Amino acid sequence: MNQRWRQILLWGLPITVALLLALQFLGSGALSNLKPGGPTEAPRNTAVARMSYGRFLDYVEAGRVTSVDIYDGGRDAVVEAVDPDLDNRVQRLRVDLPGLAPELINTLKTEGISFDVHPPKTAPPALGILGNLLFPLLLIGSLIFLARRGNNMPGGPGQAMQFGKTKARFAMEAETGVMFDDVAGVNEAKQDLEEVVTFLKQPEKFTSVGAQIPKGVLLVGPPGTGKTLLAKAIAGEAGVPFFSLSGSEFVEMFVGVGASRVRDLFKRAKENSPCLIFIDEIDAVGRQRGAGIGGGNDEREQTLNQLLTEMDGFEGNSGIIIIAATNRPDVLDSALMRPGRFDRQVTVDAPDIKGRLSILKVHSRNKKLAEDLSLESIARRTPGFTGADLANLLNEAAILTARRRKETISLAEIDDAVDRIIAGLEGHPLTDGRSKRLIAYHEVGHALVGSLVKDHDPVQKVTLIPRGQAQGLTWFSPDEEQMLVSRSQLKARIMGALGGRAAEDVVFGYAEVTTGAGGDIQMVASIARQMVTRYGMSGLGQMSTDGGSQEVFLGRDLMTRSDTSEGTSKQIDEQVRGIVMQCYEETLSLVQGQREAMDRLVELLIEKETMDGDEFREVLANYTTIPEKDRFSPVLS
């Protein structure tokens, strides 16, 4: 129910009820006593006593009644009678009559008693007709008002009769303010989409060699990688009519509305051909058919069927290019993904270090950066960040700069912004000496193992300042350029994660280990199980028993059974346990051999609360030899 209907019900119904009650009150004749012509009911404040009908007849026969006023159609009367018990004084009494019977009138005439009949007065007929027609007229008038408002204001809240019309935003030349130069870090995707724009502007360049532009382009990638931004850039570059809407805008609670909106969308697109249609989050309407429970003829499937027909049906749609975006391509219907509908799938993935550098250059155009701040260092500091994450990073750094009353953004604000985005808000430093020392040994254990294991990523920072749910943190700078991870690197990650628990075990004893390693142990179990079930890095051999990491989709995976036998599952658990226990024994031995260095690092960390990687390695080098890390450093241009 839209805002207009709520306002009508809020104000119209109380007013209508009040008017009907007022008309009923008028029709009852309660106010007619004020009109000329006498009262219409017995005066209730003048009769002080009541008399039964039988006694009234006895008074009439005895000649004690002097006058009678009959009201309410013969059901009520006020009698003036002489009461012998009160020295023959005249008394006004109220009598309930059985009705205006002819016998009573004849008796009163025979006895010579003065009587008067007061007929009831009714409301005028016009008021009764008006009261009966008031509510229907109000309802019809409201509907007419809503229909006229919907016709005069397209897209407004009064479009009560426009359910079947498309809600797509239309622009002859979309002025999004975004061009391809504003999109960075996704060069491969830009190249594919630039071909679409070139075809719209110069179609003869392709048709001369018999090429046909894809009818549909599907942008696939994690959230925040720039899919919608690319669509805005296409709209800004193309210079042709542009329709944009979300997949959820097709489906409504009314049956058939989604299919009607699809037909109306493509009808308008054909009238403005050549044009572009952008459907964001298409998985809202394009999910696999037959995935529901209780039948497949639901509203969403009807909408999808109509969309499939319009995209590549009997009639065809020449000159209409559809661009859609989703981060769940695994749930889309196979008929929607085939060539002829979405001919080309463009993967928009998280950028590499060069892509992050170009994205930072775009988002830092209006930022005041310090002269010694290098965008390359920020790009190296943020592996795995998407374009949206990098934009948020620079914005958070700018907010911190303004809060600290600085003129330019420095590396300190960038580091604090990264820590805040990844780990959460900074908390108050620990004051409990015992807890602070225990957390210090835990974090130094992580950093110590990470520094001494050759295949582990180098330490970037160790801190005792709480952030989010963590009481202390150890940061590593991973080498993201290495796309393939070896078995030794996975074992190094397991050992680095177990370094905190090993340090607690060595220093405080197994009976005093804490729950601080809960998250580390979960990560260790996940890595070890993937080594066994997915990567074939165990005694089970080169076999995979993992069904993949895709999310469960109702209707496709609900009844999927496991192909792993009970005996194989037992062997998998034994292999996982063996990998974890072997890594923990090696980690425990490594920490025990560096007890003196660990004690010194803990004292320094408690004193400073934060140590960067270079300082940590400089102190550790006084006690042992640190293996040289094999790092790949690409040349940025």
How many angstroms separate the CA atoms of 593 and 305, rounded? 68
Helix (H) or strand (E) holding 78: strand 76-83
* Structure token digits, residue 395: 């914005």
Query: CA-CA distances (angstroms) from residue 127 to 26, 29, 130, 381?
Result: 9, 12, 5, 82
Output the pLDDT for position 499: 93
Q: 637 in a domain, yes or no?
A: no
Three-class SS state of 118:
coil
Q: 239 in a domain, yes or no?
A: yes
Q: Are residues 307 and 454 in the same domain?
A: no
**At 487, which CATH number?**
1.20.58.760
* Structure token digits, residue 628: 């040289």
Output the pLDDT for position 547: 59
Q: Any bridge partners for residue 459, and if so which? A: 476
How many angstroms separate the CA atoms of 260 and 165, rounded? 7
pLDDT above 70 coverage of the chain, percent: 76
Where in the sequence is the domain holding 380, given as residue range(s)?
A: 353-422
Region 58-81: mean pLDDT is 80
Helix (H) or strand (E) holding 65: strand 65-71
How many angstroms separate the CA atoms of 42 and 45, rounded? 9
From 504, 489, 472, select the one nearest 588 (Cα to Cα): 504
Least confident span in 34-43, 306-315, 409-418, 619-628: 34-43
pLDDT tier at 485 (50, 70, 90 boundaries)? confident
**Residue 530 in contact with residue 546, Cβ under 8 Å?**
yes
* Structure token digits, residue 459: 């330490």
Q: 517 in a domain, yes or no?
A: yes
Q: Are residues 255 and 313 in the same domain?
A: yes
Q: 560 in a domain, yes or no?
A: no
Identify which has the larger pLDDT, 406 or 317. 406
Q: How far is CA 34 from the centre of its chain?
A: 64
Query: CA-CA distances (angstroms) from residue 554 to 259, 290, 332, 388, 606?
Result: 23, 10, 13, 30, 51
From 397, 422, 447, give the residue that closes a domain.
Answer: 422
How many angstroms separate the CA atoms of 240 and 246, rounded? 20
Q: Are residues 328 and 300 in the same domain?
A: yes
**At 381, which CATH number?**
1.10.8.60
φ, ψ dihedrals at 620, nearest 5°: -65, -30
Q: pLDDT tens digit string along 325-360?
A: 998 888 888 888 888 888 888 888 888 888 888 889
**At 191, which CATH number?**
3.40.50.300
Which amino acid is residue 428, in one-letter code?
Answer: H
From 422, 444, 465, give the residue that closes a domain.
Answer: 422
Most confident of 16-25, 113-122, 305-314, 602-611: 602-611
Q: Are residues 65 and 135 in the same domain?
A: no
**Statement: residue 392 has pLDDT above 80:** yes
**Statement: residue 54 has pLDDT above 70:** yes
* Structure token digits, residue 595: 């007890």
Q: Are residues 186 and 324 in the same domain?
A: yes
Output the pLDDT for position 242: 83
Output the pLDDT for position 48: 56
How many angstroms separate the CA atoms of 546 and 536, rounded? 11
Residue 426 annotated to the active site: no
Query: CA-CA distances (angstroms) from residue 212 to 159, 207, 311, 323?
Result: 40, 7, 16, 16
How many angstroms separate the CA atoms of 89 and 95, rounded? 18
Three-class SS state of 77:
strand
**Statement: residue 253 has pLDDT above 70:** no
**At 91, which CATH number?**
3.30.720.210
Q: 634 in a domain, yes or no?
A: no
* Structure token digits, residue 232: 């805005």
Q: Are residues 176 and 262 in the same domain?
A: yes
* Structure token digits, residue 151: 């016709």
Q: Are residues 76 and 62 in the same domain?
A: yes
How many angstroms separate the CA atoms of 186 and 223, rounded? 14
| Phi-psi region at 29: left, alpha or beta (left = phi > 0; alpha = psi -120 to 50) | left
Question: What residue has token string 């790949």?
Answer: 632
How many angstroms separate the CA atoms of 457 and 493, rounded? 8
Q: Are residues 66 and 204 in the same domain?
A: no
Mean pLDDT for the chain overall: 78
Q: How far is CA 531 from the centre of its chain?
A: 36
How many angstroms separate the CA atoms of 168 and 243, rounded? 6
- Counted domains in the chain: 5
Q: Are residues 57 and 16 in the same domain?
A: no
Identify which has the larger pLDDT, 575 or 380. 575
pLDDT above 90 coverage of the chain, percent: 18
Q: 525 in a domain, yes or no?
A: yes
Question: What residue has token string 């390693």?
Answer: 517
Q: Helix 613-620 to helix 433-452 angle, to the nearest 10 degrees?
A: 80
Output the pLDDT for position 37: 43
How many angstroms separate the CA atoms of 503 and 612, rounded? 20
Most confident of 209-223, 344-358, 501-515: 501-515
pLDDT tier at 562 (50, 70, 90 boundaries)? low
Q: Are residues 439 and 525 in the same domain?
A: yes
Q: Are residues 329 and 190 in the same domain?
A: yes
Q: pLDDT tens digit string along 95-154?
A: 888 766 677 777 777 777 877 777 766 656 666 666 666 667 777 777 676 666 555 544
Output the pLDDT for position 35: 39
Three-class SS state of 225:
coil
Q: 275 in a domain, yes or no?
A: yes
Region 435-439: mean pLDDT is 88
The distance in angstroms from the start CA to the end CA of the chain is 56
From 422, 457, 477, give the residue that closes a domain.
Answer: 422
Q: Are residues 261 and 341 in the same domain?
A: yes
Q: 503 in a domain, yes or no?
A: yes
What pTM was computed for the model?
A: 0.66
CB crowding 133-170: b at 16 or more within 10 Å, else e: eeeeeeeeebeeebeeebeeeeeeebbbebeebbebeb
Output the pLDDT for position 446: 93
* Structure token digits, residue 519: 């998250």
**Statement: residue 26 has pLDDT above 80:** no
Q: pLDDT tens digit string along 166-179?
A: 666 666 666 667 78
Q: How far is CA 479 from the centre of its chain?
A: 35
Catalytic one among 237, 310, 443, 504? Answer: 443
**Residue 29 in contact with residue 40, Cβ under 8 Å?**
yes
CB crowding 94-111: b at 16 or more within 10 Å, else e: bbebeeeeeebeeebeee
Three-class SS state of 543:
coil
Output the pLDDT for position 548: 53
Most confident of 4-13, 20-29, 611-620: 611-620
How many angstroms separate the CA atoms of 295 and 311, rounded? 25
Q: pLDDT tens digit string along 451-475?
A: 999 888 888 889 888 887 778 888 8
How many angstroms separate the CA atoms of 509 and 512, rounded? 6
**Statement: residue 271 has pLDDT above 90:** no
**Statement: residue 18 has pLDDT above 50:** yes
Output the pLDDT for position 297: 52
